[in-house]
Amino acid sequence: MAAIYKEIEIDVPSDRVWEAIRDYGGIKRLVPHIECEMDGDARIITFPDGRVAREVLVGIDDEHRRLVYAEPSGRFLTRNGAMQVLRIDDGRCRLVWTNDLLPDQFAGMVAKNMDRGLLTMKRSLEEMKVGAEGGQI
């Protein structure tokens, strides 16, 4: 099983980042180029390349600011993802994103997508912060 670990520092307070991450169906505000529809506890994600993924919410842990989801069908035998928000100081945090998946042959593709996704989320969150400070949001 491939295990992929990625992290990024975000210049936004951890409580605000966690609020956005835990909004499971609101992922579009973090990653604007994807489409998302909710179906019960699952979000149906449509990526720009047309791939559709059904990601089932496994759990939200507010105490540890950790969200876990799974993609039990599609091209993967199994894929489990988790995002956790860790406080650095009053104005910064670290977003940690992990994915465990089979088959291993998809690890490179998933790792690249995670890199792009983290940069997009960082940009979106930091832009929201600037907008909020300027009274635009």
**What's the confidence (pLDDT) of residue 136?**
40
What's at 78, amino acid-wise? T
Asked if 4 contacts 107 with a C-beta cutoff of 8 angstroms, the reply is yes
Asked if omega into 103 is within 30° of 0 (cis), the reply is yes
Q: How far apart are CA 48 and CA 19, in angstroms?
A: 25
* Cα dihedral sign, 17-68-112-31: negative
- Spell out where 32-131 has E strands: 35-39, 42-46, 52-61, 66-70, 78-89, 92-102
Q: Output 15 or 72, whichever has higher pLDDT.
A: 15
Tens of pLDDT, residues 96-132: 999 999 999 999 999 999 999 999 999 999 998 766 6
Q: What is the pTM of this model?
A: 0.91
**pLDDT digits 0-9 by tens, 17-59:** 999 999 999 999 999 999 999 999 999 999 988 999 999 999 9
Give the class (CATH, top level) of 2-133.
Answer: alpha beta
| Bridging pattern class, strands 2-10 and 52-61 | unpaired
